[in-house]
Amino acid sequence: MLNSISSTVSLHNGIDMPWLGLGVYKTEDGKQVIDAVKAAIRAGYRSIDTAAIYKNEEGVGQAIKQSEIPREQLFITSKVWNSDQGFESTLRAFEESLARLNLDYLDLYLIHWPVEGKYKETWRALEQLYKDGKVRAIGVSNFHVHHLQDLLTEAEIKPMVNQVEFHPKLLQEELRNFCRDHQIQFEAWSPLMHGKLLDNELLTEIANKHNKTVAQVILRWDLQSGVVTIPKSTKEHRIIENASIFDFELTNEEMRTINDLNEDLRFGPDPDNFDF
């Protein structure tokens, strides 16, 4: 059911993950991230997505403490950065993230990018953390089908989530189908394509019909497509607006119209060709 901000999807290990979360990419540590996370929690968000490379885990942790929401009601995600990949180094990086967040466990820990020659060892470390009860779910980010196929040849535990670039210009249908067939939950980063879709005429037309913004229409389309989404904002009014997507529904025709905007257009780096 997609009728409230507390709506969740059940991952393949039975853990419930909120459909909507707050992303904090490029949100400054300190006051900016603390204010954003606290605003999101006040607005009903329970999922916060950070990463070691965002360099704002401390602020996220402070906001969690200040919010006074019971820890078990929150869903906190972080990610291991590329330079920390490998077995022992990932275990260390996880403990460092946990310490910065000032938490006892994470809800989801992801491999940030598929670093060639390293991601299998990194995955082995995530499996260890999962078995040790330090993280409730494990997954990957920016993995193509071939990365997942390669990982699954040796993985004891299959990823619960794959977080990738996804928006109306980049549908990634083959990857979504693969993830669905393997019970790997698909999650969108950059769902609004860094604001580059907000003046699209077709989307504006649909938004006007529902008395909603284009951003709200795109985020609703994500959810109705079965995709978990984590829009990033630092402004409280925008954080609240992004969450106001549970009181309307797109028709099948509107969903098709939005799907037809696909151009396989990648805004971020290609997981087959990155140098960081």
3-state SS, residue 193: helix
Contact criterion met (CB below 8 Å) for 234 and 26? no
Tell me how far apart the alpha carbons of residues 263 and 261 are, in angstroms, rounded to a whole number. Answer: 6
Cα 216–Cα 177–Cα 2 angle in degrees, nearest 5: 35
Q: Are β-strands 16-18 and 22-23 bridged in parallel, bridged antiparallel, or unpaired?
A: unpaired
- Residue 47 bridge partners (DSSP): 75
pLDDT at 16: 98
Question: Are the C-beta atoms of 56 and 24 separated by less than 8 Å?
Answer: yes
Strand partners, 80: 111
Helices (H), 111-170: 119-131, 145-152
**Helix (H) and strand (E) counts in the chain:** 10, 10
**Residues 137, 162: Cα–Cα separation, whole Å:** 12
CATH of the domain spanning 8-259: 3.20.20.100
Q: Report the pLDDT value the prediction gives residue 145, as an integer from 0 to 100.
A: 98
pTM of structure: 0.98
Contact 148, 140 (CB under 8 A): yes
Count of beta carbons in the 10 Å neighbourhood of residue 74:
18
The candidate with the shortest Cα–Cα distance to 22, out of 215, 193, 230, is 230
Residue 109 bears catalytic tag: no
Q: Hey, is 4 helix, strand or coil? A: coil
> How many residues are listed for the chain in this entry?
276
pLDDT of 1: 72
pLDDT of residue 122: 98
**Which residue is catalytic, options 54, 109, 119, 130?**
54
Backbone φ and ψ for 90, nearest 5 degrees, come out as -70, -40
Counting beta carbons within 10 angstroms of the beta carbon of residue 73, is it exposed (0 to 12), middle (13 to 18) or buried (19 or more)?
Answer: exposed
Burial of 94 (0-12, 13-18, 19+ CB in 10 A): buried
Per-residue pLDDT of the chain (276 residues), as tens digits, is 799 999 999 999 999 999 999 999 999 999 999 999 999 999 999 999 999 999 999 999 999 999 989 999 999 999 999 999 999 999 999 999 999 999 999 999 999 999 999 999 999 999 999 999 999 999 999 999 999 999 999 999 999 999 999 999 999 999 999 999 999 999 999 999 989 999 999 999 999 999 999 999 999 999 999 999 999 999 999 999 999 999 999 999 999 999 999 999 999 999 999 999
* Annotated domain spans of the chain: 8-259
